[in-house]
Each structure stands twice: as structure tokens, then as C-alpha cells.
Amino acid sequence: MSDTLFKKILVANRGEIAVRIINACRLLKIPTLAIYSTADADAVHVRMADEAIEIGPPPPLESYLALDKIIAAAKSFHCDAIHPGYGFLAENPLFPERCEEAGITFIGPSAKAMRLMGNKVEARIKMSGAGVPVIPGMKGAGADLRTFEEAAHEAGYPVLIKAAAGGGGKGMRVVHEPEELQASVEAAMREAKNAFGDDTVYLEKYLENPRHIEFQVMADNHGNTIHLFERECSIQRRHQKIIEESPSMALTPALRAQMGQAAVRAAETAGYRNAGTVEFLVDKNGGFYFLEMNTRIQVEHPVTEMTTGSDLVVEQIRIAAGEKMSEYLFRASQRGHAIECRVYAEDAENNFFPSSGNILYYEEPVGPGIRVDSGVTGGTKVGVEYDPILAKLIVHAPTRDLAIAKMIAALGDYHILGIKTSRKFMMDVLAHPEFKAGRTYTDFIPTHMQDREVDVIPAVETAAAAAALAMMKSAKPNMTAIKATTPSPWQTIGAWEIGMRITK
């Protein structure tokens, strides 16, 4: 008999989340198997796992999305559980189904709960029936133009056409007046067909400039479903979250309690198990509406871990093994304020173009209440084949003001040389008066960051680059320098990509 929850866990992901999962397994003394594509042979997650197997060439369909190969790897390496992380196969109901056939535990919800939440129309109907508020709109999918016209008339313009298989903003169309309705429905159907292979669309009232606020839920197989409060995720760019925080400035204790209760009811109604997130839109009047449920551990889960003092990945593993969730979760409260910044490999000064190359120098900020979840280090080759997230920087402080100050300081102490990152862009968001005032709505980036002036101080920049190069050459033990087949930092530095303290 084994004295661990599982004999070995296959980590079916890459990058920072694979590292995060391996770290949780280490705490539980569970051995891990990493999978990797040929592009990731030297990646951090591969080095950290107890064992690793190359699973195919860089294209995701032949590696991180290759379900057959992953199940076969789990079998041949005697893994009795698989953690999917986020993205890739994490919300594909075939994954838990194939695991079950193979006698492997899937660390996540059932295929049934995934299917329900994967269909936005079905989820709306089910949630509405359970008394969870949904955005006013159609009861089911749109059948013909008449049903769209009637629903739009009842909801009142502007309305929004959405894809049933959608999420993440694809296939959405705002319609401002009846004359545009038919063309918009047809366009949304085409887009949905192309993106999801399913042209089912439906109609909702369009909420202008809402906030995106989500609740972390956790459910075990012993009848316990709880929530761990909210994350405010309104700061997004083209439906990609950039900054998340908890608590939300928009919630009163009464609204928080109401939404938390709705989130728990949503999870219970879906027969949900393991970690999940219930997303809401919150309008100017404090009205809240169920948007969708994400059936996975999310990128921004550390914000909840910091404010509630929990380890959600450890809990996911315990729950999947059939244990009751830890007692401390039942007494969880929100303490202080946490903020997360996603560090992307992209060039914010050049239309957020993906940035690739070798990390020539890498130094993380350290200090009380500073956490870095990273998938990279010095020498890591960053390509363009996968999601551009390099790392997440999370800070925890007694108040929101202190958390913002700590985050700005920590971003200033985060040095990544060799590729462009979104670091400076995030510093500008955090320093913006509207952000500081807590006026974080979903239109924040397009409204306040469009014509952003980029400061370049050539003298300081040059000095910083020279200092970095000198440090690399001196090769102190705590620094990682790699040899000269890669371009020098002088060629790749760009505006503000060398770390320096920002004092404004």
C-alpha cells in the first residue's frame, strides 16, 4: 500500500502551471512525470519533474493536445493520476472520459459537468432554473430571425449575439439597432461555425462596460461545496487577462455574500467536483449575472491562495484522491489584498507582437509577500508556438494601496533580458490614477492605455544594459548566463526591457 495520495502524477501541461503542479506534488511526496514537446526539451518543468517523456514535435496537436499519446505515457510510466493544468486539454470532456477508461484519476471535474458548462446556452438554462441570475435574454438557442427579433425587443437594444460553444469573446457581435440584427446574427453564426464547428448562437442584453468578477469554488466527494471569495479580472486586453486582484473594489460585504452563495449554488447544480470558477458580470448598479463557469484551475488562482492562505492545487489532488477537502478551507476568510500581473513575452510598444528568443539574464524579485510562479529561467528558449505567458508575479500586502506599491517595486526588480515582456506596460496600468481609484472596468485598457507615451531614457537604459552584460560575464553562482551563440542584449534590449527602478 502506498502512503501517498497517488503513486505518480502525469502533469499534462508546460510552463509555469506545470511547475506549479509539480511543486504541489512535491509537498505531498507524489512523484511526477512531465511530458514535453521537442521545443521544450530544456524547459524548467522538464528539469523539475522526477521523470520526463518527450511526447512529440512542437505543434500542440502532436504533443500537448495529443490525448492518445498522453494516456499511453501515463500507462507506460505507471501514473495513476493526471493533472491537466489550464488550456490545452483541460476543459475537453474526452480527457476525463479517456482517463476513466484507462483506470487513471483525472484531477478535475467530471466529463458531464464539463459538457454542461461548455455549452453556454445549456449552462444559462440550468443556472437560471436554479435561481442563479443570468443576463436577460433568450431562454434557449436562437431558432430563426423571429426569435432573435422578439428576444432583442424584449431585452432592449443594445444586444449581444454570442456563440453557444463560445467563451473568451469569439463569435460575439454587439447590435445597436433592429436594422443590424439579421446581418449580425448571420455573421456571428459564420464566425461560430469557423471557430467551433457549431453555428449555434443566442442573444443577450448587452451590458455596457461591466466588471468581470469571478468566484473560486471548491467541491469534494463528501458533500462539501464552498467558495473562496472573488477575483476581480476586469483588466483585460482582447479577452486576455493582464492583472487580477482580490478583493474586488466593487463588492460590498452584502453583495459578496450574495454572489458567493450564487457561485456555490451554480457548482452544486452542475454536480461539480474539484476546483472551478464561476464568472459573473457586475453592472454599474451592482447587479450581477452568471456569465460562465470555468471547469479548471485558473491562471489567476494564486490571488485567492494569497488572500485566503490556501493551496488550491494541493486541495485539487486531495479531492481527486477521494479525500475530504482540508478543514482550514471551511474557515477561510479574505486577508489583505493580493494582485497578480501576468508577464507575457510580447512587445507592448509594438502592438503586443509576440516576442521570442533566448532569456540571456533572469532575476526574480524577492521579499515578503512576493511570489513568482515562473516557467522560465536564464537560458530558456522562448518560442512563439505556445501561449506567451512566461510567469506570474503575485504580491500580497495589508491594503490595496500597499499591494499596488509593492507590485510596482517588484516589477522594477524583475529582470528578464533577451526578449520583450509586458513588464513596463503593467507598471503604467498600476500607476494610472483610474486604476489606483479602483475604477477597473472591462474597457480600462482600450480607454486609458491606448495612446500611452513610452518613456525612454537612453542614458539610464544604456547604463543598465552595460551593467547587465557585466553581471553576466562575471558569472556569479546565483546568476545564469549563457554563451554567445544568441544575440547580445544590445540587440534585443528595446525600450525599458532592462530592469531599472521606476520612481514616478
Query: What stretches of 238-350 adopt beta strand conformation (E)?
Result: 240-246, 274-282, 288-294, 337-344, 346-347
Q: Which stretch binds ligand MV4 (CB under 6 A): 8-16, 62-70, 166-174, 463-471?
A: 166-174
Q: Judged by CB under 6 A, does residue 236 bind ligand MV4?
A: yes
Q: Judged by CB under 6 A, does residue 168 bind ligand MV4?
A: yes
Q: Show the site string, 205-224: x = touches ligand MV4 by CB under 6 A, - = not.
A: xxx--x-x------------
As measured in angstroms, the least distance from the Cβ of 308 to ligand MV4 is 23
| Separation CA 492–CA 471 (nearest Å) | 17
Residues numbered 269-308 forming contacts with ligand MV4, rule: CB under 6 A: 281, 291-292
As measured in angstroms, the least distance from the Cβ of 168 to ligand MV4 is 6
Q: Judged by CB under 6 A, does residue 98 bind ligand MV4?
A: no
Count of residues that bind ligand MV4 according to CB under 6 A? 17
Class of residue 128 by CB neighbours under 10 A (exposed 0-12, middle 13-18, buried 19+): middle
Q: Judged by CB under 6 A, does residue 446 bind ligand MV4?
A: no
Q: Where are the alpha helices (DSSP H) in 133-292?
A: 145-155, 181-196, 253-269
| Separation CA 188–CA 190 (nearest Å) | 5
Selected from 169, 178, 322, 438, the binder of ligand MV4 by CB under 6 A is: 169
- 126: region left, alpha or beta (phi > 0 left; psi from -120 to 50 alpha): alpha
- In terms of CB distance, is 189 or 242 closer to ligand MV4? 242
- In terms of CB distance, is 12 or 217 closer to ligand MV4? 217
| Separation CA 104–CA 67 (nearest Å) | 13
Q: Which stretch binds ligand MV4 (CB under 6 A): 83-91, 163-171, 400-408, 417-425?
A: 163-171
Burial of 410-435, coded b for 16+ CB within 10 Å and e otherwise, reads: bbbbbbbbbbbbbbbbbbbbbebeeb
Among candidates 367, 396, 362, which has minimal Cα distance to 379? 362
Among candidates 399, 172, 419, 393, which has minimal Cα distance to 299? 393
Q: What amino acid is encoded at 372 in this protein?
A: V
| Separation CA 419–CA 356 (nearest Å) | 6
As measured in angstroms, the least distance from the Cβ of 63 to ligand MV4 is 27
| Separation CA 8–CA 50 (nearest Å) | 10
As measured in angstroms, the least distance from the Cβ of 444 to ligand MV4 is 9
Selected from 204, 220, 340, 387, the binder of ligand MV4 by CB under 6 A is: 204
237 annotated active-site:
no
- In terms of CB distance, is 199 or 204 closer to ligand MV4? 204
| Separation CA 451–CA 430 (nearest Å) | 16
Selected from 7, 153, 222, 239, the binder of ligand MV4 by CB under 6 A is: 239
As measured in angstroms, the least distance from the Cβ of 47 to ligand MV4 is 35
- In terms of CB distance, is 442 or 492 closer to ligand MV4? 442
- In terms of CB distance, is 39 or 299 closer to ligand MV4? 299
As measured in angstroms, the least distance from the Cβ of 255 to ligand MV4 is 18
Q: Which stretch binds ligand MV4 (CB under 6 A): 164-172, 263-271, 345-353, 423-431?
A: 164-172
- In terms of CB distance, is 235 or 317 closer to ligand MV4? 235
Q: Judged by CB under 6 A, does residue 79 bind ligand MV4?
A: no
- In terms of CB distance, is 450 or 478 closer to ligand MV4? 450
| Separation CA 341–CA 410 (nearest Å) | 10
Q: Where are the alpha helices (DSSP H) in 396-495?
A: 400-412, 423-431, 433-436, 444-448, 458-474, 489-492
Q: Which stretch binds ligand MV4 (CB under 6 A): 109-117, 198-206, 306-314, 333-341?
A: 198-206
Cell matching residue 57: 514535435
Residues numbered 101-120 forming contacts with ligand MV4, rule: CB under 6 A: none
Selected from 82, 116, 135, 151, the binder of ligand MV4 by CB under 6 A is: 135
Specify the pairing of strand 240-246 against strand 225-237.
Answer: antiparallel
As measured in angstroms, the least distance from the Cβ of 273 to ligand MV4 is 23
- Provide φ and ψ at 391, rounded to 5°: -165, 170
Please name every residue paired with 289 in a beta bridge, in sequence order, or none if there are none.
Answer: 281
As measured in angstroms, the least distance from the Cβ of 344 to ligand MV4 is 17
Q: Where are the alpha helices (DSSP H) in 197-311?
A: 253-269, 301-308
- In terms of CB distance, is 202 or 361 closer to ligand MV4? 202
Active-site choice (98, 124, 296, 342): 296
Q: Judged by CB under 6 A, does residue 167 bind ligand MV4?
A: yes
As measured in angstroms, the least distance from the Cβ of 347 to ligand MV4 is 22
The DSSP H or E segment spanning 315 is helix 312-320
Catalytic residue ranges: 296
Q: Which residues bind ligand MV4 (CB under 6 A)?
A: 135, 160, 167-169, 204-207, 210, 212, 236, 239, 281, 291-292, 442
